Structure 1
Amino acid sequence: MDQEHCFHCGDICESQTITFNDKTFCCNGCKTVYEIFSENDLTCYYDLQAAPGATPKDIEGKYDFLMQENIIEKLTEFNDGKTQIATLYIPHIHCSSCIWILENLNKLNPGISASQVNFGKKNVRVTYNSEITSLKEVVILLSSIGYEPYISLDDFKTGKAQVNRSLIYKLGIAGFAFGNVMFLSFPEYFEVGEYWLEQYKHLFRWLMFSFSLPVVFYAGQDYFISAYKGLRKGLLNIDVPIALGIAVLFIRSTIDIIFDLGSGFFDSLTGLIFFLLLGKFFQQKTYSFLSFERDYKSYFPIAITKIENGIETPIQVYDIKQGDRLLIRNQELIPADGILINGNAQIDYSFVTGESKTISKDSGDKLFAGGKQTAGLIEMEALKSVEQSYLTQLWSHDVFNTNKEDHFTTLTNAISKRFTIAVLTIAILATTYWLFVDASKAMNVFTAVLIIACPCAIALAAPFTFGNLLRIFGKLKFYVKNASVIEQLAEINTVIFDKTGTITSNEKSIATYEGDVLSTSEEILLKNTLRGSNHPLSRSLYDILDEHHIISLNHFEEHLGKGIEASYQNDNIRVGSASFVGGSETSVLNTSVHISTNNKYKGKYTFYNSYRKGLSKLFNNLKKEYDLVILSGDNAGEQENLKKLLPAKTKLIFNQKPDDKLEYIKYHQTEGAKVLMVGDGLNDAGALAQSNVGIALSENVNVFSPACDAILDASKFNQLYNFIKASKQAITIIKWSFLLSFIYNSIGLYFAVTGQLAPVIAAILMPLSSISVVVFTTIATNFIGKRIK
């Protein structure tokens, strides 16, 4: 009698068999999970993968400790009293069904608003409403459907990702078996006489068969699983020819020893899997190194203002220590958890939760990293240092993905698919030919073709090239969100720059005042109003004005693209454009900041801009290949100066509001433009998001824009052309890698098709091909990096 398998978890139904809806389950737990999914219309969970679930464990009373506030505080990374976010480590995550159900938890519990899976780290980040559900209920839900989180109470952490040693175990077993099979094959290699043939031939052959079993069914199982999953979804992935080659070798060798036709190809079979795994191990170690470099060294060049002994000093965010007093201006990101000391805190946590609404906080309340202050200036005390990986997580949050297509990944996959079809066709045609010419060579030819022509090198070219270039860019203070941005950067044909704070430097600006003399109280009000703003002109004017004592404003509001208004006691002030403050623009020769107090126009500060070092050279380099545009929200006062400074074909467009910039980019994209937008990240958030690549320039301010694709340190502004050029060269490196792989495969296929290449030699050469691509891309990208000054 055939043993029945559980529909949910796939285990054999031994002690009991439960039938429900014509489906068999091994226990009530699995049946209950199926019922839960059925009631919530989630049974397509089983369509993605056969028997994907795990048997739920008895969890009654196990997670009562998750009701304690001090433990919840430790386990949640965000908690504002209503919305809580916790990242839970779930060891059982293993397939597409797991990802699908874990990202649809909101359908099982209405209190859960979002859940996001990191498959590589085996964790799920759950956002839920603590007024509707609790952390305990979330964990119980996960456990009840077979995804019990691992929670360590020793250090209050939601699990530590254990090192996956399965590849090492598989490599060890394959290596051990390969060595022994080679040893047992020596008598036949050296054609030992009658003693071997009569006494030990069959024993040695069956020993070789025994050694091959764990190699094929354990060490090589990933290739079969990957090929099966691909074929189920109608995809021909690169593991299909490998799995086919392994299966053919094993079946043919087994038939040979059963019918005493020969000793088979067990040496080639075990050697093939060993060298494949060795190549995979090398690739994994190399890419892990690149990922380590990326995760821990590519810090954002974001600064924050630290107050010490009454002196305000800008420091890098990763220099923040517990107990530091920090100044957070309007639109600035809170870089670390802390306590509010004073100021009108209106915090927007949309970067963290995805919900765009502000929350009021009072002195003494806790503030969480990732929130953005939206109502002027506040002071806070840091409770801990900054975790840069957390900022990276915010930057890459799905909420801010703008569907900028990754064409090159699609190209790589397309090439691999066509390559696989071509390889299978060649293998079948070559085998058919040899069946008629010399049948003894047919199987060797078939397996050698499948092994030697594996397109692994093609699949590796892009990730290793882009991964290494991300690391190099990070060291050069150009911080790119992900690999697809590099590909997009290589394809741009139009470069658009904001003016103020982007091509102009805030450090050397000079301003003169024209108008009615400001009283002392008006100067104090102006200085403190500018203190709360991060606009480049506000920062420049703040630095120019004399020092005054600090006051706490009653009201502060910043209107993007227009100006600022604030009030203190009975006085109010407006700072910004002439139309915003109620004045009239009499001259457009230079950029001006206008001021009115108590609804009376007072005067204006006129700026004489200082442009960034190397601006003319940068534009002259760019003009050879790209259309250049200056898209500014300022008036046309600097137009004549810019015409002298920049190439003749540069478009100069002024008086553009943030929405105007976005629409300008959108229109030109419909005309075929692939746009790179370079801005300061404040007024340009919409334009940065709309562009094909958006680069935010960072100059000693903590304006963090998830809309951007890259952050460029202002000191490296003059190197922008070299970064774009390096991105183009990266694409060239990948194409050369494709060419090298094609040449290698063409030569290898010639020897394989003509029957001159043994499968074991092919198995050695294939990972060497992959390794050569990795070495070539690494050396080539390092060479590119050295050429960028």
Structure 2
Amino acid sequence: MNQDNCFHCGDVCDSDPIFYNEKKFCCNGCKTVYEIFSENDLTCYYDLEVSPGATPKDIEGKYDFLSQENIIEKLTEFNDGKTQIVTLYIPHIHCSSCIWILENLNKLNSGISSSQVNFGKKQVRVTYHTNTTSLKETVCLLSNIGYEPYISLDDFKTGRKQVNRSLIYKLGIAGFAFGNVMFLSFPEYFEVGEFWLEKYKHLFRWLMFFFSLPVVFYAGQDYFISAFKGLRKKLLNIDVPIALGIAVLFLRSSVDIIFDLGSGFFDSLTGLVFFLLLGKFFQQKTYSFLSFERDYKSYFPIAITKIKDGHETPIQVYDIKKGDRLLIRNEELIPADGILISGNAQIDYSFVTGESKTVNKQSGDKLFAGGKQTSGLIEMEALKSVEQSYLTQLWSHDVFNQNKEEHFTTLTNTISKRFTITILSIAIIATSYWLSADASKALNVFTSVLIIACPCAIALAAPFTLGNLLRIFGKMKFYVKNATVIEQLANINTIIFDKTGTITSNKKSTATYEGDILSSSEELLLKNTLRGSNHPLSRALYNILEEHQIITLNHFEEHLGKGIEASYNNEHIKIGSASFVGAKETSVLETNVHISSNNYYKGKFTFYNSYRRGLSKLFNELKKDYDLAILSGDNAGELENLKKLLPSKTKLIFNQKPDDKLEYIKYHQSEGAKVLMVGDGLNDAGALAQSNVGVALSENVNVFSPACDAILDASKFSQLFQFIKASKQAITIIKWSFILSLIYNCIGIYFAVTGQLAPVIAAILMPLSSISIVVFTTVSTNFLGRKLRKKG
């Protein structure tokens, strides 16, 4: 680094620099930031990138308005009085150093519990405790270390980014310069006489030089910046060849006119940048038009129970309106901000804050979207509609990610790993040849090879293919968390199913009761206890029993894998396995739900399972390519029925607790299995998290498990094989895209290496190849989607 530059921000120091710890700073602000980092053992920030910081601005008194409660309420997305969460737009985020320091804010302020950076949106999501810090202190801290947030008070929103029109401005300047340079080049093109050539050619050439300056140093600057940052980190990104081509053309052309060797290649240079930017503009517009992420989020899968005129109706969360009365069962997610009306609310906000401590709420208290009810059933009134992107953000919260992608290399990374260095090698070898054969063609060859072989098509193939498939799957009620899951789904070789609520249907189950007659008060308590549970057998029995008056329970507790218990006035009830309610185990192989009242055994409900439509066909489709197993927490009562329904090689394992299922999957993974687990999302959370791909089956309940990678609507269960097959076909589409891109590159490189391709033509062909790949992947995945819908 230049010794005259500031150690923190890299700006040139004036005549009166500030020295501290043998380092030079341009102002007290930069020195203060360095002191903060030093005191908190964070000086390795400067090891990631030389002078990565920004000069902090004078902020004294600037953020006093952030102490006002009404503004805090508007700006924060979560605020329970003890913990607040805010998402701030930080314009200065630009490199790995920024990400590193912004995700270590807790070391600068102990009141901040976590901070996560969204690099693409230049946002940081900060969670902090209000008893030790505040929104104002958090924003001031960010400003003091050179990351001042942009906050719009016009609409009380943070992170509101103004429309970025820089690409349009650069495209306009490059187009203007290209047109004028072409016009000024006409006399030389056509050699139109001594008057023009001798009298004005030097003027025209210098005019072309000046027109090229804003093109190279403004319109094309992004390519140089990206290439420079990559090289500084010892990475060869896809902008290195482009930046090299532009630089070589400009330098060679400048030398030509300075020493009067010729008119240079300013027409090719300005045309090259113009068509590169035009291609980027069309790619940007195409991607925005398809809008995969937005469309995907609009189909988010959770259902919720709405209460209207005493009737309970399941609705999709995006149908929730302000004022709707909602029923939230045990282990269900609160989908929208609201007011608690009735019930014992024990809310777990770990989805939002990352901390699993539950919070007690009383009637009239505010409830925040993303909290999970953990103690029975509550009723609430929605204060606003659901924000789909917010729910998706909760689903993808880093706290719950086991980072299954850590040891998974995507197809794009595998193929394009050494692409740039290969192209550079070809360009250097070809240029070396032409320098000895025909030096006049060497520059064109070097530039054309670098431009025509740009791997943009390779970079776009996977995002467009998998992004479009995410949208298609969402429309068909198969909701996949991200594009990487589709690649992992295509690689599985083992599929494990839960039984109750997964391969069996709650809606069609029937049951008979055997035991002492239940009193009316016991029936009332039984019905209302089942009402608060989301276990498949609880939902099935609740639907079978007659309607009863709705009461608010004094106590409710659900023991995963065992049963539920509740009390009302002096009555106490237990519902679940025989051992849980204190009954003797029977040798009869049946699916039973036992009941005890006030510690006295009353009897049992025996279930006759109704298996999902298309179960046998699905398993027969899967058996050819996958190892199949069923892990059930029930006893072996359905063993004989399942043997008749399912292929002979299907493994049937019963009496499995949640931990047993997890260990079973872990063992098979150690043997090389790539496991897909299909479960109900409640008892199977551990197994879903352990598997390579975890799919939770949803049947009109709001069981929102962060452990799952995808949620499948129960009505589409029989299409699971088609979804897996489509994932494999999507990978095939990506591979074909790579092949097409390789063909483009081979043909283009041939013409470039042999000196038959001008750089400006290469610049036109490069975006056209990228756009053709986008069209190919979009058309192919849409065709794939139509095939899926026909089979559905």
In structure 1, give the amino acid aligned to 2:788.
Answer: I
Separation in 2 of the partners of 1:408 and 1:45?
28
Look up the match of 1:529.
529
Deviation at 1:569, TM superposition (A): 2.2
Look up the match of 2:353.
353
2:339 aligned counterpart, secondary structure: strand
Residue 208 of structure 2 corresponds to residue 208 of structure 1? yes
In structure 1, give the amino acid aligned to 2:283.
Answer: Q
Deviation at 1:306, TM superposition (A): 1.6
Deviation at 1:15, TM superposition (A): 6.8
Separation in 2 of the partners of 1:487 and 1:415?
14
Separation in 2 of the partners of 1:159 and 1:694?
33
Look up the match of 2:485.
485
Deviation at 1:709, TM superposition (A): 0.5
Separation in 1 of the partners of 2:368 and 2:408?
38
Summarize the alignment of residues 748-767 of structure 1 with structure 2, pairs less than 5 Å apart: 748-767=748-767
Deviation at 1:640, TM superposition (A): 1.0
Residue 556 of structure 2 corresponds to residue 594 of structure 1? no
Indicate the larger mover: 3-12 or 203-212.
3-12
Separation in 1 of the partners of 2:211 and 2:574?
83
In structure 2, give the amino acid aligned to 1:354.
Answer: G
1:384-405 per-position Cα deviation (integer Å, ceiling 9, x unaligned)? 1111111001001111111212
In structure 2, give the amino acid aligned to 1:578.
Answer: A
Change (3 A) 1:712 1:296: closer
Summarize the alignment of residues 510-659 of structure 1 with structure 2, pairs less than 5 Å apart: 510-659=510-659
Residues 697 and 712 in structure 1, CA contact (< 8 A), matched pair in contact too: yes
Separation in 2 of the partners of 1:439 and 1:65?
67
Deviation at 1:410, TM superposition (A): 4.5
Separation in 1 of the partners of 2:660 and 2:475?
35
1:424-444 per-position Cα deviation (integer Å, ceiling 9, x unaligned)? 111111111111111111111
Residue 500 of structure 2 corresponds to residue 500 of structure 1? yes
Separation in 1 of the partners of 2:408 and 2:600?
58
Deviation at 1:765, TM superposition (A): 1.0
1:523 aligned counterpart, secondary structure: helix
Separation in 2 of the partners of 1:373 and 1:592?
27
Change (3 A) 1:413 1:257: farther
Residues 292 and 470 in structure 2, CA contact (< 8 A), matched pair in contact too: no
1:747 aligned counterpart, secondary structure: helix
Deviation at 1:16, TM superposition (A): 4.0
1:405 aligned counterpart, secondary structure: helix
1:569-598 per-position Cα deviation (integer Å, ceiling 9, x unaligned)? 222111111121122333544311111112
Change (3 A) 1:107 1:268: same
Indicate the larger mover: 40-49 or 337-346.
40-49
Separation in 1 of the partners of 2:338 and 2:634?
37
Deviation at 1:47, TM superposition (A): 2.7
In structure 1, give the amino acid aligned to 2:513.
Answer: Y
Residues 329 and 378 in structure 1, CA contact (< 8 A), matched pair in contact too: yes
1:669-726 per-position Cα deviation (integer Å, ceiling 9, x unaligned)? 0011101111111101111110000111111001100111111111111111111111
Look up the match of 2:734.
734
Separation in 2 of the partners of 1:292 and 1:433?
46
1:19-45 per-position Cα deviation (integer Å, ceiling 9, x unaligned)? 333333222212212221222222222
1:712-761 per-position Cα deviation (integer Å, ceiling 9, x unaligned)? 11111111111111100111011111111111111111111111111111
Indicate the larger mover: 548-557 or 332-341.
548-557
Change (3 A) 1:498 1:330: same
Indicate the larger mover: 207-216 or 408-417.
408-417
Residues 296 and 474 in structure 2, CA contact (< 8 A), matched pair in contact too: no
2:201 aligned counterpart, secondary structure: helix
Look up the match of 1:509.
509
2:565 aligned counterpart, secondary structure: strand
In structure 1, give the amino acid aligned to 2:671.
Answer: E
Summarize the alignment of residues 399-548 of structure 1 with structure 2, pairs less than 5 Å apart: 399-405=399-405, 410-548=410-548
Separation in 2 of the partners of 1:267 and 1:536?
71
2:782 aligned counterpart, secondary structure: helix
Change (3 A) 1:760 1:588: farther
Look up the match of 1:243.
243
Deviation at 1:254, TM superposition (A): 0.8
In structure 2, give the amino acid aligned to 1:378.
Answer: I
Separation in 1 of the partners of 2:675 and 2:413?
25
Look up the match of 1:106.
106
Residues 410 and 484 in structure 2, CA contact (< 8 A), matched pair in contact too: no
Separation in 2 of the partners of 1:62 and 1:248?
47
Look up the match of 1:43.
43
1:630 aligned counterpart, secondary structure: strand
Separation in 2 of the partners of 1:130 and 1:241?
50
Look up the match of 1:770.
770
Separation in 1 of the partners of 2:3 and 2:210?
26
Deviation at 1:301, TM superposition (A): 2.3
Separation in 2 of the partners of 1:561 and 1:588?
20
In structure 1, give the amino acid aligned to 2:342.
Answer: N
Look up the match of 2:145.
145
Look up the match of 1:66.
66
Change (3 A) 1:219 1:379: same
Look up the match of 1:316.
316
With normalisation by structure 2, the TM-score equals: 0.97
Unmatched 5+ stretches in structure 2: none
Separation in 2 of the partners of 1:156 and 1:571?
51
Indicate the larger mover: 228-237 or 537-546.
228-237
With normalisation by structure 1, the TM-score equals: 0.97
Indicate the larger mover: 233-242 or 389-398.
233-242
In structure 1, give the amino acid aligned to 2:187.
Answer: P
Deviation at 1:209, TM superposition (A): 1.0
Residues 295 and 389 in structure 1, CA contact (< 8 A), matched pair in contact too: no
Residues 297 and 389 in structure 2, CA contact (< 8 A), matched pair in contact too: no
Deviation at 1:180, TM superposition (A): 1.3
Residue 251 of structure 2 corresponds to residue 257 of structure 1? no
In structure 1, give the amino acid aligned to 2:278.
Answer: L
Indicate the larger mover: 280-289 or 437-446.
280-289
1:147 aligned counterpart, secondary structure: coil
Length, aligned pairs only? 788
What percentage of aligned pairs have identical amino acids? 86
Summarize the alignment of residues 301-340 of structure 1 with structure 2, pairs less than 5 Å apart: 301-340=301-340
Deviation at 1:149, TM superposition (A): 1.7
Separation in 2 of the partners of 1:414 and 1:248?
30
Separation in 2 of the partners of 1:51 and 1:330?
52
Deviation at 1:378, TM superposition (A): 1.1
Look up the match of 2:282.
282
In structure 2, give the amino acid aligned to 1:504.
Answer: T
Look up the match of 1:131.
131
1:491 aligned counterpart, secondary structure: coil
Indicate the larger mover: 54-63 or 622-631.
54-63
1:367-389 per-position Cα deviation (integer Å, ceiling 9, x unaligned)? 11111111111111211111111
Separation in 1 of the partners of 2:3 and 2:171?
32
Residue 76 of structure 2 corresponds to residue 56 of structure 1? no
Deviation at 1:188, TM superposition (A): 1.7
Separation in 2 of the partners of 1:570 and 1:122?
57
Separation in 2 of the partners of 1:767 and 1:247?
20
Look up the match of 1:272.
272
2:360 aligned counterpart, secondary structure: strand
Unmatched 5+ stretches in structure 1: none
CA RMSD of aligned residues (A): 1.7
Residues 493 and 626 in structure 1, CA contact (< 8 A), matched pair in contact too: yes
Residues 236 and 417 in structure 1, CA contact (< 8 A), matched pair in contact too: no
2:91 aligned counterpart, secondary structure: coil
Separation in 1 of the partners of 2:675 and 2:374?
30
In structure 1, give the amino acid aligned to 2:51.
Answer: A
Deviation at 1:309, TM superposition (A): 2.2
Indicate the larger mover: 761-770 or 190-199.
190-199
1:400 aligned counterpart, secondary structure: coil
Separation in 1 of the partners of 2:417 and 2:485?
24
Separation in 1 of the partners of 2:339 and 2:277?
51
1:178-210 per-position Cα deviation (integer Å, ceiling 9, x unaligned)? 111111111122222322221111111111111
Deviation at 1:3, TM superposition (A): 10
Residues 592 and 604 in structure 2, CA contact (< 8 A), matched pair in contact too: yes
Deviation at 1:152, TM superposition (A): 2.3
Change (3 A) 1:749 1:18: same
2:243 aligned counterpart, secondary structure: helix
Indicate the larger mover: 188-197 or 492-501.
188-197
Indicate the larger mover: 176-185 or 488-497.
176-185
